[in-house]
Structure 1
Amino acid sequence: MAVGLFFASGVDKIAHYADNVQLMATNNVPAFFLPLVILLEVGGGIAIALGFLTRFTSVFMAVFSVVAGFLFYQGYSHAHLMVWLKNISCAAGFLLLCLNGSGKWSIDHLIQRRFARA
């Protein structure tokens, strides 16, 4: 679920690139980070969905979730609290995925099995 959420968010950032640059400027975040964020959300979402470099990517997604929560949802409002809690929940899920790995139906598992035979 979190993977789909981040993938869709990355695609939306591509579609509304200028709006996101402006939002980042409002929060004192340099605009050069936006392509990296898009790469992480779209590329990381696809990688985790396929089970490719799952543990590695999950760490970055967890850190990104927490950092984005602190950078973009400052101040108290109910909406900010809900989005911040969503980010923290996603970070926890990514950390669990990092600890447990991607499972038997993943590219990581296929690669691991292939090298175990060699």
Structure 2
Amino acid sequence: MAVGLFFTSGLDKISHYSDNLQQMADNQVPGFFLPLVILLEVGGGAAIALGFLTRFTSVFMAIFSVVAGFLFYQGFSHAHLMVWLKNISCAAAFLLLYLNGSGKWSLDYLIQRRFARS
């Protein structure tokens, strides 16, 4: 679930690039971070969905979730609270994924098995 949210959010940032640059400027975040955010959301989302470098990527996704929540959703409106809570919940899910790993249906598992035989 968290992976799908961030993956589609990254795709949306590509299609609405200038709007996102403006939102970042409104929140005093330098615009040069936007390509990195897109890479993390799309690339990291795809990597976790495939189970590739899952633990490594999960740490960055968790940190990003918390930082983005504090940078962009500081308001006291109900909508800001809901999005902030979504980000914190996603961070918790990514930390659980870090702790438990990706499982037997992942590229990480296949790669690990392949090298264990060698």
Shorter-chain TM-score tier: over 0.9
Amino acid at match of 1:65: S
How big is each residue's C-alpha offset from its partner over 1:5-28, in whole Å with a ceiling of 9 and x where there is no partner? 100000000000000000000000
Structure 1 position 30 matched with structure 2 position 30? yes
1:57 matched residue in structure 2: 57
1:83 matched residue in structure 2: 83
CA distance in 1: counterparts of 2:74 and 2:102, whole angstroms: 33
CA distance in 1: counterparts of 2:75 and 2:21, whole angstroms: 21
Other structure's SS at 1:59 match: helix
Instruction: Spell out structure 1 runs of 4+ moving beyond 2 A.
Output: none
CA distance in 1: counterparts of 2:117 and 2:104, whole angstroms: 16
TM-superposed CA distance for 1:42, in Å, is 0.1
Other structure's SS at 1:28 match: coil
Q: What is the total number of aligned residue pairs between the two structures?
A: 118
1:15 matched residue in structure 2: 15
TM-score with structure 2 setting the length: 0.99
Structure 1 position 106 matched with structure 2 position 106? yes
TM-score with structure 1 setting the length: 0.99
CA distance in 2: counterparts of 1:81 and 1:12, whole angstroms: 21
Percentage identity across paired residues of the two chains: 86
**What root-mean-square deviation, in Å, do the aligned CA atoms of Structure 1 and Structure 2 show?**
0.4
How big is each residue's C-alpha offset from its partner over 1:76-98, in whole Å with a ceiling of 9 and x where there is no partner? 11000000000000000000000
TM-superposed CA distance for 1:75, in Å, is 2.2
